[in-house]
Structure 1
């Protein structure tokens, strides 16, 4: 199985749905936090989750006690691992909880829901425009062309509206490859009775399946998009399919062109050999404009990329210098706090030593009193004086450093309050990273589009659009590296921000406590460079200082990476500033 659409066929659960603590713990161990349950079925559940960087994903949990189902899940994972395409749902990760007998698969989250949901909503409003249907048709055919390609030979085997997802940018992602198989070249047919009843082809009843069977299923999807009235009435829909299989002509609305109607009829041919392949469909003259629109970055994705560049550049200009100054102040405060602590501890120790010497002298004088009379009184007096001097020295050190502590405390509070000012910069960079990650999926289109770029220029499209296309060619060469760099920044910034909050909050309590003598050992080791790991420091305060030093180093690296990322994107930012949607 392994399809989260099967789970989501049931109504999506609200936040009150109980999820076992073991599941929550397992997902947290893998770096995911459950946002909500999407649905559940007999063999598993599906969740909307967020990772440590705040990115949304779908996690499908499958019962691994059933070996047949588990084999299907593993098969899906193996297929998805090797697929990276603009119109196919991206596989992210998978892991198993052997103790609880659950298998988890992490997938790209498609915020637009599935096509089935969209069709239900559209039925209430009217009908789909033909251009929209043609765009979706081309997008799905491009995905099928990709998986049917000879070097892959992958059959989907379960194409239906519930397995076709919509992204936040409105284009299609073909998903749920749990029933897929890699077709052996020597075997033109693959045995299977899988697939939704209303979408499987006649040959499936004979336990045979080819790439043309996927085309047949897609034909019924297109028919349903054209005929929402028929699709929404289950009995009527079944009757229409049965009539078609018996040779009666399909009924179409006059809203749609003869070209589209004829294409659907060809795709629904009873004999697989008469059906067009995905490649042949894409070669249809009436689909030329739709193919040109969709064999490139989706327009909405391009707009989101340009907007993300603008927002990142704006927040960089507004906040980078402030962030840099804050990190510098963080470093200076760390140095000052360590120095104050050192002086205070040394002062306290000196006072203690002097006081102890005076006490010993006084005791010696008292012991000698019966024997030395006046001389012993002098010794005792000197001892008392030295003890008082030691106490005064210790007190003076404590008072002086307490004043400095107050100043440092105010600095720490100010840093803590101002650190939230840099959050928009990190947020804008993360938003840009998410777009870049999606753009990577379309690299095949852009790398193969040099002819299209030249054609676009020749037919008189604006120089700006042509320039944007060329920019995409350059971007794709670097997008992996830039996306990885922004991901590093996001992770480092998230860790540093958590450290800032945790360290400073704890530090504000610690600086109000009395320093203890054992800190002197840690001070010596830290000044000698012997302690780099905060976990090895015994003193609570010095542990916090060590953590502050580590966080300062992390923040400096974040600053450097952000600056380098902006430099990498400089040319694209220039394009974004003059981009017209």
Structure 2
């Protein structure tokens, strides 16, 4: 390779590196604008990348970045968002947010994070251990089928059912995700045109005629179940392709006899070449051998129930230990703010008055000295008075400066201690409420399995809470679930206020030093006009803005205390029943008490 070619290649690589760095920074800034911080990249596909992010409350989410080079890709991303927005089900990924960067041509979809990865990775791990137990397969079968039943009832086709699009939560149940190929239909039995989906899970009617309906999802689902039962099928990709090709011609693959005849028969029915001969999601769930698995999974997962009750008990304990201390600190916050403003006024006024008196005395002394030859010494008396006044002014200014030094040290120590105590008391309360909110949101996904509940009200409260807490209370009137919905909304707001307050205390420590430097009469004039102000926008002085922000935050913390107290009162009776593990009975008891 020539030297010129080497230089050219080096420059190309440098430009590429700069370009990637620019894209990374642009992406990070865009996500930060929407209050998300990138933790790491999770993967990369044909249309874009996925990232693990966290929001300002510390909750984890997945961001799917779609690089749309044409209108078709852009429309597909928007279609995925429109479908996800209307799907609310325990076994389907939660949609959180979406936005786009028109300049770079990227669309972002924020979704629920499933900590245990996808079913494909789980299958790869299991190959080194042994086959899945049938009960585990039946649980996943029912959970996926319940998700398909729900979307088919809502006239939505997934069109890309495969292990890579089934995700495992940290609580052990699955979430059907990646609706990028999904299609919303006018009616349930309609066909969607165009061939989509992954090659080895595509059905005959899609492959040959590019026609897709709900039974096409069932075919893909059948192959997913086959792969769960026959983990070694993927050890030879050529053999796997042959099996799929034969099934397209009507030859259904055999399944290991380690699994029950009922399960084998069901999978073969799902892989029937004729869509009309495949069972629907409703028919699958009605199978007698699946009754126990359906009863187990058509409800709030037991692990969520237990963790939820435990979280409520933990919140109760933390409240009893920390709430009074938190309340005392909030009171001290208000007193410290008043004290800070008083110190600013008095020290500034002291400095200014000392300087004024000193200046007046100096002028008097000069005038007396000038007039002395003409007044036969009488003006010497004036000069003497002037000197005395000047000295008094100097003493006043010096005394003010000494006072400043003492007060500055005292105030700084006071705020430092307030900051430390505030964090130690507020953190346990904030963390316990975070846990309650996180579990509440998970539980609310299973509303379709809890009849005659007030989940709808709770969901409405949550959605409103994302835009603003004001006015939510009027929607929450019945049932324990509605109460938990309020907890989810309030705790999110509490978290933001508490976290912001800690930053205000850090900032005010810097302002304390500035307070004792200010010697501007305009400062005093502003203080007189806006005494005890809690709106930073009403003042121009940077020092007064900081004090106003501290007062505003104190006002918000008082509201936080009220919200925490209300939450505690509302849950007090319920928390006392933590020894019981059936949350539905508890919810029913609470709802009956409010009728």
**TM-score, normalisation: structure 1:** 0.88
Partner of 1:311: 314
SS in 2 for 1:552: helix
Q: Output aligned runs, 1:50-89, within 5 Å.
A: 50-89=54-93
Cα 1:231–1:82 change in 2 (3 A) is same
- Alpha-carbon contact 2:155-2:188 (below 8 Å) kept: no
Is this contact kept in 2: 1:310–1:577, CA < 8 A? no
Distance 1:185 1:103 in 2: 29
Bigger Cα displacement from structure 2, 266-275 vs 510-519: 510-519
Between 1:195-204 and 1:299-308, the stretch displaced more is 299-308
Deviation at 1:449, TM superposition (A): 8.8
Q: 1:125 aligns to what SS in structure 2?
A: coil
Task: Determine the C-alpha separation between the residues in 2 that align with 1:233 and 1:508.
Answer: 71
Contact 1:412–1:508 (8 Å) recurs in 2: no
Paired residue for 2:177, among 152, 175, 178? 175
Task: Select 1:502's aligned residue among 501, 507, 531.
Answer: 507
Asked if the contact 1:88–1:174 (Cα under 8 Å) also holds between the matched residues in 2, the reply is yes
How far apart in 1 are the matches of 2:560 and 2:34?
A: 24
In 2, the alpha carbon distance for the partners of 1:189 and 1:43 equals 25
Comparing 159-168 with 44-53, greater Cα deviation is found at 44-53
Residue 88 of structure 2 aligns to a residue whose secondary structure is: coil
Aligned position for 1:367: 370
Q: Secondary structure of the residue that 1:352 maps to in structure 2? A: helix
Q: Are 1:491 and 2:496 counterparts? A: yes
Q: Distance in 2 between matches of 1:357 and 1:508?
A: 31
Mean CA deviation greater in 132-141 or 347-356: 347-356
Report whether the alignment pairs 1:188 with 2:193.
Answer: no
1:552-563 mapped onto 2 (5 Å cutoff)? 552-563=554-565
- Aligned counterpart, 1:427: 431
Match of 2:406 among 389, 403, 406: 403
Of 517-526 and 290-299, deviating more is 517-526
1:310 Cα deviation from its structure 2 partner: 2.1
Q: Name the SS for the 1:106 alignment partner.
A: strand
Q: Contact 2:419 / 2:502 at 8 angstroms: preserved in 1?
A: no
Structure 1: which 5+ runs fail to align?
Answer: 1-16, 451-472
Q: How many angstroms apart in 2 are the aligned matches of 1:154 and 1:142? A: 14
Q: Match of 1:87, SS?
A: coil
For residue 404 of structure 1, report the CA deviation from its aligned partner: 2.9
Name the CA distance, whole Å, in 2 between partners of 1:315 and 1:220.
Answer: 49
Residue 480 of structure 1 is matched in structure 2 by 485
SS in 2 for 1:53: coil
Residue 510 of structure 1: how far off its partner (Å):
2.8
1:315 Cα deviation from its structure 2 partner:
1.7
> Is structure 2 residue 37 aligned with structure 1 residue 33?
yes
Is the 8 Å Cα contact of residues 315 and 424 (structure 1) preserved in structure 2?
yes
Query: C-alpha displacement at 1:197, in angstroms?
Result: 1.2
SS of the equivalent of 1:105 reads strand
Distance 1:524 1:249, change over 3 A: closer
1:19-70 residue CA offsets vs partner (Å, 9 max, x unmatched): 5211111111111111111122443221111111111111111123311111
**Partner Cα separation in structure 2 for residue 267 and residue 299 of structure 1:** 29
Cα–Cα, structure 1 residues 448 and 389, in superposed 2: closer, same or farther, change >3 Å?
A: closer
Deviations 1:184-226 (A, max 9, x none): 3397322121111111111112111110111111111111111
2:350, 2:130 → 1: CA distance? Answer: 83
The structure 1 segments of at least 4 consecutive aligned residues displaced by more than 6 Å after TM superposition are none
Alpha-carbon distance between aligned partners in 2 of 1:182 and 1:390, rounded to the nearest angstrom: 83
The 5 A counterparts of 1:214-225 are 214-225=217-228
Q: 1:249 to 1:30 in 2, by over 3 A?
A: closer
Take 2:68 and 2:367, find their aligned partners in 1: how far apart are those partners?
Answer: 81
Equivalent in the alignment of 2:161: 159
Report Cα offsets for 1:399-423 as digits up to 9, x if no partner: 2343233222211110122222021
Question: Does the Cα contact within 8 Å between 1:165 and 1:172 map onto a contact in 2?
Answer: yes
2: CA distance, partners of 1:512 / 1:385: 27
Moved more, 240-249 or 550-559: 240-249
Query: Which residue is 1:46 aligned to?
Result: 50
- The answer to whether the 8 A contact 1:440-1:479 is kept is no
Q: Does 1:132 align with 2:136?
A: yes
Counterpart position of 1:537: 539
The residue aligned with 1:97 is 101
* CA shift in 2, pair 1:221/1:327, >3 Å: same
Is 2:199 aligned against 1:197?
yes
Where structure 2 has 5 or more consecutive residues not aligned to the other structure, the ranges are: 1-19, 455-477, 584-595
1:329 and 1:515 map into 2 onto residues whose CA distance is 28
TM-score by length of 2: 0.86
